[in-house]
Structure 1
């Protein structure tokens, strides 16, 4: 196998992760503030981020500096889980294959010692064994929003996009046997016989081990409307709705490491898509002597949607997978003071995984310390209640988050980071509010 083939394998991984950011995955989009506070926001969202968290919050009581207009332009976040360093493994395998091809081209069984070829074959075998069932996952998100908050009638517009890409390696028993035969050859003649069985007519390795890429995407654009109702007990009830247009997309690509020269990873045969209208509904209930408590509930994607993936390579074991966009419900409670926000949030429904990843159902805690509206320090932690040892991919369990915000002359900058045993992530957001 030549250098070009695995170069294109790396290209498949890179392009799948980085070129599809115009679409959003089944996971909900998160603003940088929410990202820093453990993914919370149902009971704490500012007006500009309310469309993603809870549209009812556009009509909630807001600070003077954010109760007339809000803008996010843009908000970007990313998470990567790659404990086994899958992309690095691909590069290392590529280097070993190049070395093996060079050694085979120069090998003369009548005069040469086969030890170097045997050693390289053993090295390649061991790397492919290590690559087997290793996985990586990348989550990306991009959002834009604007809002005109009002207790009488709040109006907003938004578009957001997230993507989840998962990659898995799979070793074939045939490759292991062929490389074992070369590595264990007792003579130069036996080594040549084993090499002939493992290579094509050009002398390049003919491997059947494969790489599998699965990606799920969802993009949405819509409007948000909210209104506040004053109740007799002095509490306030906010109700919000977000009608939106949703596009789903799946990508499935499976190929042997010897077959990536076809360069067909972006063909229509690997992609499916579906579009339709959907709806989010949110409520928030504000109570307490100084309206310091807020209880929020949001139901997203009330119209179920399904999309089957392409399975263009059944000869390589590809199966049709179904991307499900089902209704989800999240509830949260928050306590707000002059210099702090404390919140807790729970997904009441489970989000089913599509690729080589974990199901998710988050229980989250978040906190924000506010210095006179000019600077904010944020922390969060969340636990995945749906994580299990029998999942088909990388587990997502406990995640820790932190971040800060700066508000200078109406311009807002928010930065956030995330860390867990499997994941690292970051978020950046620019915006304004007044």
Structure 2
């Protein structure tokens, strides 16, 4: 069953407008139009080559040439037979990681809405226009209303079509590295959830028409007179204000909002076995590894409207659960590894998901639409140098530009990292990761590892302007 507790907050916001007679605080703004879409926007990273392995994360997301045998099935199966003496067994139970992404411009817009208190200012201005002390007070409150409303509308449009994502992963394996035949059995689950607010042009027009209307009136009496002309707003000619006896009723514009939220998720579960063998090629030791695996791809898709999110009877979690769609496929990873400089320099190449597949979500009952997404082939090159003094330097480069499942930027990572093994007890790590496809996506990484006899613990973290993540791994080596 889909666990959607993270979405419960989506249903907690109140209607954006409260239409009552003017004497009873008509058109009182209780919450930002469409801002609740962002308060419940939790989502995930696109489909990068990112394992969320704790050691890799700490070292700039490297691992194709530097991964330990326990995680070789994630990065490069060839490492299971490369430079292995066959005297150890590696067990990972488990590796858990999470990463959160938000577009910098969207974050700026959201922070400006929060910092400038547009919503509170609009609410205060409406109350001031309803009960002004004098004409100057009415004008001051009217200008406060229109200025804050325009700024709010502008920032909401900055948020439109900007995805918020969360990516979570879990991994467990048992690996027996040997030159003759390295083996690993593993299970891997990677889940991506993305929430994207879509503010329509009609809603922008609707809000702007409301602002234009209030800019056209200069006094409370003019507001009453203007209401007699039956002013309308937006694509659907929503009535703005109507006279009701000696008062004015402001029509709730949220009834005609057409904006929506796209909520989509993909979980890829893998069960597989990695096999590697070391052989001689042109006088050099070369390791070849393959990873046949069974993949289960589960997708979720919903497109609730603003009205649905405001309806107490609507349950987004139920709609996502009903939209669950499962597909199964067999796929294959392949990897190579060799060494130079007296085996101190390792070069690795890996290709994941040799068979590229396209899938389709279930159909949204509201829009009648489904969306397709791809699980594409990915290729990455890695280099690692085992330097003196317990230092290991690593670098990885994506050879493919990896597209997101749904909306968002492509990723093509270049990562560099270093590890310092202090007395075979504590390992300090750091690195940098750059997205060559998006200049705004640059991350600093750090972490550490330590062991207690045969049990080891690894912690990793990454930080950037638009991304944050962390990972923990517990393993046994004997």
Using the size of structure 1 for normalisation, the TM-score is 0.80
SS in 2 for 1:132: helix
Q: Do residues 224 (structure 1) and 224 (structure 2) align?
A: no
Kept in 2: contact 1:417–1:424 (CA 8 A): no
Any gaps of 5 or more consecutive residues in structure 1? 388-394
Q: Do residues 145 (structure 1) and 172 (structure 2) align?
A: yes
* Number of the residue aligned with 2:99: 78
* Superposed counterparts of 1:96-245, under 5 Å: 114-115=138-139, 116=141, 119-134=144-159, 135-151=162-178, 152-168=181-197, 170=199, 172-192=204-224, 193=227, 197-198=239-240, 203=250, 205-207=252-254, 208=257, 210-231=259-280, 233=283, 235-245=285-295
* Superposed counterparts of 1:241-390, under 5 Å: 241-256=291-306, 259-262=308-311, 263-268=314-319, 271=323, 273-288=325-340, 290-309=342-361, 310-314=363-367, 320-337=370-387, 339-387=390-438
Whole-Å separation in 2 of the counterparts to 1:141 and 1:282: 24
Q: How far does residue 31 in structure 1 lie from its aligned partner after superposition?
A: 0.5
* Number of the residue aligned with 1:392: none
Q: How far does residue 358 in structure 1 lie from its aligned partner after superposition?
A: 0.4
Whole-Å separation in 2 of the counterparts to 1:15 and 1:132: 17
SS in 1 for 2:206: helix
* Number of the residue aligned with 1:31: 53
Q: Higher Cα Rg: structure 1 or 2?
A: 2
Whole-Å separation in 1 of the counterparts to 2:267 and 2:308: 29
Q: How far does residue 12 in structure 1 lie from its aligned partner after superposition?
A: 5.9
Kept in 2: contact 1:419–1:425 (CA 8 A): yes
CA distance 1:188–1:369, change in 2 (3 Å): same
Whole-Å separation in 1 of the counterparts to 2:47 and 2:476: 29
CA distance 1:197–1:50, change in 2 (3 Å): same
SS in 1 for 2:72: helix
Whole-Å separation in 1 of the counterparts to 2:88 and 2:82: 9
Whole-Å separation in 2 of the counterparts to 1:35 and 1:97: 44
Q: How far does residue 431 in structure 1 lie from its aligned partner after superposition?
A: 0.6
Whole-Å separation in 2 of the counterparts to 1:352 and 1:401: 23
CA distance 1:259–1:48, change in 2 (3 Å): same
SS in 1 for 2:47: coil
* Number of the residue aligned with 1:412: 456
CA distance 1:3–1:336, change in 2 (3 Å): closer
Whole-Å separation in 1 of the counterparts to 2:184 and 2:329: 19
Any gaps of 5 or more consecutive residues in structure 2? 1-11, 17-30, 233-237
Which stretch of the first structure deviates more once superposed, 70-79 or 187-196?
Answer: 187-196
* Alignment coverage as a number of residue pairs: 415
CA distance 1:12–1:123, change in 2 (3 Å): closer
Whole-Å separation in 1 of the counterparts to 2:188 and 2:59: 22
Whole-Å separation in 1 of the counterparts to 2:356 and 2:469: 30
Whole-Å separation in 2 of the counterparts to 1:107 and 1:325: 59
1:61 to 83, 86, 89: 83
Whole-Å separation in 2 of the counterparts to 1:34 and 1:122: 48
SS in 2 for 1:124: helix
SS in 1 for 2:62: coil
Which stretch of the first structure deviates more once superposed, 159-168 or 54-63?
Answer: 54-63
SS in 2 for 1:17: coil
Whole-Å separation in 2 of the counterparts to 1:301 and 1:427: 25
CA distance 1:26–1:82, change in 2 (3 Å): closer
